[in-house]
Structure 1
């Protein structure tokens, strides 16, 4: 290797501090930002990276891994006995068949595509299953291969421009459903193929609702790629909001809802940046949109509704690292009316993060237990939840250590 080349922390036997610096640099994160996320000083980060301080204890290592979105703990520690996936969940058993359907390139076929009405009904049922099943990835993974193939055929066999636009809208939505399945699984290139194909199909459909959904998911994919991609997340997000604004005076509930969901996503990214004031301003704007929707309305893809705004407030507070505010928002949020099991589970995980920020570790574990009850597959794929469980498994309290260890076994981060 050239002496000027950057060492690869996954290949070279480099020290913890060097790995931390390499991973931070790859994320496009400054020392000051990382220090702020960890609640430490920039000089402390510099000393760790320079090897003047030894590798910290496990709770801090886990916080560093969370801040840097490290997918496997061994990538940070260099300890090959610590193969614990954090922000990548296990590869689902149905992933190979979904991947095969996505990677197929149909040009000719002897089979007739189903009607748009038939595809729409199947999509409605698939979204319902995604929100109602505790093991939602298993259910959705079983439906996706045929849905992908049939939606591709519908585009291929469309007889008119209007039929083709309608088919492209359905195909875009199928790719959106696919992104929910693939997210946090160990195949990032497949995820980005789905993101890009969904956006192209949505643009071809010329349907504001489809365009909004694809942009909402692309925003999340960019943001989850790390701080270096926050500008890309905002670019997609804010451009789509500007595109949707002229449609809003006479918009359907679905178009209103996707606009509100995008407003919240802009606030979410701002909170990740540490721009708390901007984050809450976007939350207020999203809240105003939610208030225009019927009380019992619930968007089938994004979960945007009046009911979800309390959960969104918890997210903003947690991402702003405001422990007491997170707890206050969690107490104020009425999430019992959220019909989606995975969305309820995600809210419980955000609650747990808030409680831990506030030093209420018992309440954090109780919230994670509720997340597991709502949707086991959500917590198994969530890096924040896994970090809290692993950290509390090292607690000085025997009862807390036992409770965390039992949950760690259930979600698959510790062996039974």
Structure 2
């Protein structure tokens, strides 16, 4: 199916393929036939992942099948003509998972400082929402880091393992962003292996957060909540006198878990995780970006808005969202928050403000808006719901996001 179908239209398509009536599917998800009819006819915004996941489960399809992920990554001057397939090839290179791989590797490893510079450059680009640039260059970084791990010894080996773990984490978060959930899982798993080999508990903690995101990308929200608890227990013995990096990793772990809990419709655990993150942010004392976590009080506030939206507390999201000052945050965080504010405005029938917010987000980070399922589905739903001819601004945005012919 193309990107020009709303989630509701996809539900209808799969329901018919399964030979199910609206009465049957509505009953299986505990809703009325009237509700399902409105969903399939775009009269109700279907933007809560917990609800979408329940429909996907009853239709026996993947969550990604309903939300139209992944989305094709366009060729740009940043990405070149090698995007996700090249990254897939790097992640699935048999030489990285076989005992004789190092002996046949054709890549000459650079020095540790060069590796660290490559890593920092790509993480900074990710936080600037340059997704094509990151995707196009990650295969080279992974190949260089793998070669270094196979070649170096002593302190250089430990440093190379750290670079490799963080390179795989970057691959996991980037792939999650563009809807490649299965590849994100592979990347997170590889990163954890590198972190464990390095004996680095902070690095292991940040990779566990990536596994949490990978679980969420496939709709496994309760497993992500359980992993958050398990990972927190693993890190807690190191919190009596933690480094800023440890506090940041610990806090962002709970932020990821709070989203998972909200998507699992578990409001109590959501509040518990947000409180734990808030306490870590208070101990840290200010917004920071240790290990590219962008962790601090502002990121906690961003997640309060996002979890409110996931739980259906639209008024909380509308009231709190516009008040959060994200100007000091990395661009990726700023735009992700803007998408949540646009979603809240849309659910509150403040369509003009929703569109203005999304257009401003696109101005700041066009790639992020283009590839995020929330922005694409918001725009497509707005187009479908128009009773008169859509505005020029909306039509042009829909075409830029490739959700309208």
Among 187, 193, 211, the alignment partner of 1:218 is 211
The answer for the alignment partner of 2:69 in structure 1 is: 87
2:197 equivalent to 1:194: no
Q: Provide TM-score, normalisation by structure 2.
A: 0.81
SS at match of 1:287: helix
SS at match of 1:118: helix
Alignment of 1:214-253 (within 5 A): 214-226=207-219, 229-253=220-244
SS at match of 1:369: helix
Alignment of 1:204-353 (within 5 A): 204-226=197-219, 229-338=220-329, 340-353=330-343
Q: Does the C-alpha gap of structure 1 residues 20 and 251 become closer, same or farther in structure 2, counting only changes over 3 Å? A: farther
Alignment of 1:15-414 (within 5 A): 15=19, 17=21, 21=25, 31-32=29-30, 42-44=31-33, 56-60=40-44, 67-68=51-52, 86-93=68-75, 94-104=83-93, 105=95, 106-108=101-103, 109=105, 112-132=108-128, 134=129, 136-160=130-154, 163-183=156-176, 185=178, 187-226=180-219, 229-338=220-329, 340-396=330-386, 398=388, 401-414=391-404
Does the CA-based 8 Å contact 1:89-1:184 persist in structure 2? Answer: no
- Which whole-Å CA distance do the structure 2 matches of 1:394 and 1:71 have between them? 21
Q: Does the C-alpha gap of structure 1 residues 281 and 332 become closer, same or farther in structure 2, counting only changes over 3 Å? A: farther
1:156 is displaced (CA, Å) by 0.7
Does the CA-based 8 Å contact 2:239-2:247 persist in structure 1? Answer: yes
Structure 1 residue runs of 5 or longer lacking an equivalent are: 1-8, 33-41, 78-82
- C-alpha distance after superposition, 1:298-352 (max 9, x if no partner): 23433222232221111111111111111111133111221x2222111111111
SS at match of 2:240: helix
* Aligned-CA RMSD value: 3.4
SS at match of 1:412: coil
Q: How many positions carry a matched residue from both structures?
A: 374
Does the CA-based 8 Å contact 2:50-2:265 persist in structure 1? Answer: no
Does the CA-based 8 Å contact 1:263-1:282 persist in structure 2? Answer: yes
SS at match of 1:251: coil
1:11 is displaced (CA, Å) by 12
Q: Does the C-alpha gap of structure 1 residues 54 and 240 become closer, same or farther in structure 2, counting only changes over 3 Å? A: closer
1:399 is displaced (CA, Å) by 7.4
Q: Provide TM-score, normalisation by structure 1.
A: 0.79
- Which whole-Å CA distance do the structure 1 matches of 2:236 and 2:66 have between them? 44
